[in-house]
Structure 1
């Protein structure tokens, strides 16, 4: 987990996050990948990637091509209200200049918010 210090439009930031997710999965030997986003525009473009003639369409086709190597791949919409944990982790990583992979051994601040989110 880390952060990129750039000003980007939301769909480009989400696309960058997708690319980074695809890069770390082989390092962890993960065979299944499920990505979620609250950026409906990006998900719609991903689902209609063959119609896109823009740079974004090209990059989404490349991501789809890379996703074929997984046993399971899904990219779906998640409502923003379900992003509490992700939002906290991203903000925490940015504030703490964090660049690490948590796996299941993550800092206690994150543990608490994950448990609260699971209960509620």
Structure 2
């Protein structure tokens, strides 16, 4: 697995952990920050993504 893919999976994992932590604290409003443009674009996308990499 190349380094970019590993970094993106690490970002996804950290986001998942952050959401789980927020749920344990019963926080209703959250703001996340990331420099992983693929993750940010995927979360902000409202339409279905049919590309192979999601760009």
What interval of TM-score do these two structures reach, taking the shorter chain for normalisation?
Answer: 0.5 to 0.7
Greater Cα radius of gyration, structure 1 or 2: 1
TM-score normalised by length of structure 1: 0.34
CA distance in 2, matches of 1:19, 1:41: 15
- 1:22 matched to 2:19? The reply is yes
Which residue of 31, 35, 39 corresponds with 2:28?
31
Aligned length: 48
| Shift >4 Å, 4+ stretches | none
> Which consecutive residues of structure 1, in runs of 5 or more, have no partner in the other structure?
1-7, 58-120
Pick closer, same or farther for the CA change 1:53–1:12 going to 2, 3 Å.
Answer: farther
CA RMSD in angstroms, aligned pairs only: 2.3
Output aligned runs, 1:101-112, within 5 Å.
Answer: none
Post-superposition Cα deviations, 1:85-112, rounded to whole Å, max 9, x if no partner, equal xxxxxxxxxxxxxxxxxxxxxxxxxxxx
CA distance in 1, matches of 2:27, 2:43: 22
SS of the equivalent of 2:13 reads helix
CA distance in 1, matches of 2:46, 2:26: 27
CA distance in 1, matches of 2:35, 2:48: 22
